[in-house]
Structure formats: C-alpha cells, structure tokens
Chain A
Amino acid sequence: MSAGAAGRAGAKVTALTEALAHLGAERADQLSGAILMVPRAAIHQAAATAREHGFDLLLDVFAIDWLAYPGHRGPRFSVSYHVHSVGANERCSLRVQLDDGDALPTVTDVWPAAAFMEREVYDLFGVAFDGHPDLRKLVTPEDLEGHPLRKDFPLGESPTLFNDGRFLDPATFRAGMIGTSQGRTGWIGGARKGVVSTALEADGKGGDA
C-alpha cells in the first residue's frame, strides 16, 4: 500500500545532514520521515541552513511532552520543525530537545509561517520563543491559566450524570478498560499502557492474543 512515499528523504536531506553535522546534528528517522536531532543552541543556525538548502516551506512546528512516556529519560519537551522543499519534493524534520523553562530562538525570520505555529506551541505547552514578534496565547481563553497540552494538565472532564442519579467520572470508567487501574469494575485489562511485550511486533507476531 502506498503510504505517501514514506519519508521522502533523498539527496537534499543527506546534504543537509552533512552541512549540520558540525553543529552536532544526528539522524534519528522514524516512520514519519527523516528527523535531524539538533542541539538547542544551534537550532536557529540549523533552520537558516535548511532554508538555504532549499527547504522553503515550513509545514509545522509542534511540541511533544515526554513526561508520561514510559521509559523516557532526558529532557521533557521536544519541538519539531517539519520542513518541505518545494523544488525537490523532499522533506525532513529538525528536532530540538529542551527542558521545562528553556526557551528557543524564534524562526520567524527564516520562515514567517512560524508565527502562528510558535504561538500555538507557547500557548499549549509553555515553550517560549525569544524574538517572536507577538508571543501570546493563540487558541485558549485569556482566563485559562496553564498550558493545556502538557501531560500534567488535566483533560477537564465533567462527571456524567446518569438518569438514576449516579455520577460517573469518565476517566475512571476508561481506566478499567485499558488496564491503567482497576476502575469501577475491578478488572485490569491485559495490557497496561506502554507495556511493549503486547505491542504488535514488526515481524508480525502478536502478544497475548
């Protein structure tokens, strides 16, 4: 099945990797495509170099909060810059790892498209971008304090009121099914979140089932 010429990383990406090697960049590809891990101090230089190499379309800037990732060691956040070269039809991601409280330099001078994207990351994760022309909340209401997409920010579910007067907390109801806790039924699901042994293996052999 065609899954979109998975990755689309070719000569240009290789050339970029070599050009960024002296900054400490390393390849860490995923199914989603080529990823270049860039040290935090070098991200602006890396962005400018990528732009010079022809990666002119900035597709996305997003963050991942690794706080609840089982077995994760290292900085809490990753910020990914997904760029595309229109002329060469190649794309890659530049990824930075940073701790809570670290700030990143803005890349709006390299790609003006980063304006809203960086604001969104700031609003939802709390990662500040130095030099951003207008760094403030984008999508959340003014009176919401905190950064909603962080893993320690609650989803904010209201308990469901059933006709017979019971209040049911949705998270508890769900927890019993996927096995993170016993939940209301007392049954623990066969695979806890993050347990690798029951995940689908690459060679096609399954877990318990």
Chain B
Amino acid sequence: MGLTDVFEKDVMELEKDGILFSTLGRLVAWGRSNSLWPATFGLACCAIEMMQSTNAHHDMARMGSEVFRASPRQADVMIVAGRLSKKMAPVMRRVYEQMPNPKWVISMGACASSGGMFNNYAIVQNVDSVVPVDVYVPGCPPRPEALVYAVLQLQKKVRGETFDEAGIELPMVEGWAR
C-alpha cells in the first residue's frame, strides 16, 4: 500500500493493516510512564523495602524503573522512602528542585505521608508540605508489592487515566503542569 492510501482509506481499514493511531501527547505519556526512573532518596526503613522491591523476587525493573539514578538531574520520580526529619527537609527540597520537569513524587510509607508514628518535634508530618506528592503509599514499611502498585498507579496518572474524588477523569496535562 502506498502513501496515498493513508489519505484515502479510513481509520479502521488502516488499523487492520497495522498502522497505529494516537495523539503525540498520548504517545509521549506512554513512553514516560513506562520508563520512570526514580531518584535514590531512601531515608530509613522504607529504603530497605525499596531495595527489596528491586530484587529478583519483586523486580521493579519490569515496571520501567530499570535504574535508580543517583543524580536527581537524571531522574523522573522521587520516592521519598522513610521518615523526613526537619533537618533533612531543605535538602530534600533542593534535590527535588534539581529534578527536571516533568517530575513526580511518591511518598512511601506512613512516616513520609503523615509523620507516621513519630508525632514530635523532629519529623515533618507530611512531606506534601515540602514537595508536591502524587501517590501516597501507606504501610510501615509498605510491602514491595505495595510500592510496585504505587508505581503502577503513578504510571496511570502519567498517562492521564486517573480520576478525582467525584469520579471525573483528570486531564493528562495535570501531570505535566509542574
């Protein structure tokens, strides 16, 4: 089939002939969601479970997180794994700001999401006050499967398949706005 067929035949015929149709936005989002490279930001116990999620049994690399980049400049997502102390908070903000757009944040564990069991002078009670969080993962520590599930949810968010509380689909551009 020649190039003119692309203009003359209709979409369904062309799809049967093996041509995929999409928008550029969807295509880029599909690519991005399937290669989310996390920045190493393991703080405490959750960091050990994050390491366990990369092992052969759970294998987060299947989800696209092939490498954990040490440099935030090469990372897409920051997994805040562990309790964030108030001394560490400005450091985390700096690391977050060094990440290029588009970037996302997964708050892993109870301590990152809400201060967890540490309700005191030393721990930030929700890392959302330092960096904007996309996915919260409950657990103390969350199982590696829970972290993998969180990465899958984030992938949905990146692709624009997420819904807000009222059940209305959120537009994909939300994930790009930052």
Q: What is the CB-to-nearest-CB distance from A172 to chain B, in angstroms, rounded to a whole number?
A: 13
Stretch at the interface among B64-72, B118-126, B158-166: B118-126
Chain B CB within 8 A of A140 CB: yes
Chain B CB within 8 A of A170 CB: yes
Chain A CB within 8 A of B86 CB: yes
* Contact residues in A for B125 (Cβ distance below 8 Å): 158
Known pairs A140-B87, A141-B86, A141-B87; A156 contacts B121 (CB<8 A): yes
Closest to A155 in B: B120
* Contact residues in B for A154 (Cβ distance below 8 Å): 121
Chain B CB within 8 A of A201 CB: no
Chain B CB within 8 A of A31 CB: no
Closest to B85 in A: A141
Q: What range describes how many residues of B lie at the interface? A: under 10
* Contact residues in B for A155 (Cβ distance below 8 Å): 119-121
Chain B CB within 8 A of A33 CB: no
Chain B CB within 8 A of A157 CB: yes
Q: Is there contact, CB below 8 Å, between A144 and B86?
A: yes
Contact of A148 among B85, B115, B119, B121 (CB under 8 A): B121
* Contact residues in A for B122 (Cβ distance below 8 Å): 140, 148, 156
* Contact residues in A for B119 (Cβ distance below 8 Å): 155, 157-158, 160, 170
* Contact residues in A for B85 (Cβ distance below 8 Å): 141
Q: How far is the CA of A170 from the CA of B125 in the complex (A)?
A: 14
Considering only residues 132-157 of chain A, those with a C-beta below 8 Å from chain B are 139-142, 144, 148, 153-157
Number of A-B contacts (CB under 8 A): 26
Contact with A along B78-117 (1 / 0, CB 8 A): 0000000111000000000000000000000000000100
Q: What range describes how many residues of A lie at the interface? A: 10 to 19
Contact with B along A154-178 (1 / 0, CB 8 A): 1111101000000000100000000
Q: Is there contact, CB below 8 Å, between A144 and B115?
A: no
Central interface residue in B85, B122, B125, by most chain A CB within 10 Å: B122
Q: How far is the CA of A144 from the CA of B89 in the complex (A)?
A: 13
Q: How far is the CA of A156 from the CA of B120 in the complex (A)?
A: 5
Q: How far is the CA of A153 from the CA of B119 in the complex (A)?
A: 15
Q: What is the CB-to-nearest-CB distance from A152 to chain B, in angstroms, rounded to a whole number?
A: 13
Q: Is there contact, CB below 8 Å, between B120 and A157?
A: yes
Q: What is the CB-to-nearest-CB distance from A175 to chain B, in angstroms, rounded to a whole number?
A: 15
Q: What is the CB-to-nearest-CB distance from B172 to chain A, in angstroms, rounded to a whole number?
A: 31
* Contact residues in A for B115 (Cβ distance below 8 Å): 158
Considering only residues 114-140 of chain B, those with a C-beta below 8 Å from chain A are 115, 119-122, 125
* Contact residues in B for A153 (Cβ distance below 8 Å): 121
* Contact residues in B for A160 (Cβ distance below 8 Å): 119
Q: How far is the CA of A142 from the CA of B88 in the complex (A)?
A: 11
Q: How far is the CA of A142 from the CA of B86 in the complex (A)?
A: 10
Q: What is the CB-to-nearest-CB distance from A78 to chain B, in angstroms, rounded to a whole number?
A: 23
Q: How far is the CA of A158 from the CA of B115 in the complex (A)?
A: 10
* Contact residues in A for B121 (Cβ distance below 8 Å): 144, 148, 153-156
Contact with B along A97-140 (1 / 0, CB 8 A): 00000000000000000000000000000000000000000011
* Contact residues in B for A142 (Cβ distance below 8 Å): 87
Q: How far is the CA of A149 from the CA of B141 in the complex (A)?
A: 27
Q: How far is the CA of A160 from the CA of B125 in the complex (A)?
A: 11
Q: How far is the CA of A160 from the CA of B122 in the complex (A)?
A: 17
Q: Which 9 A-B pairs have the closest CB atoms?
A: A156-B121, A141-B87, A157-B119, A156-B120, A141-B86, A158-B125, A155-B120, A148-B121, A158-B119
- Interchain Cβ contacts under 8 Å between A and B, 10 examples: A140-B122, A141-B85, A144-B121, A153-B121, A154-B121, A155-B119, A155-B120, A156-B121, A158-B119, A170-B119
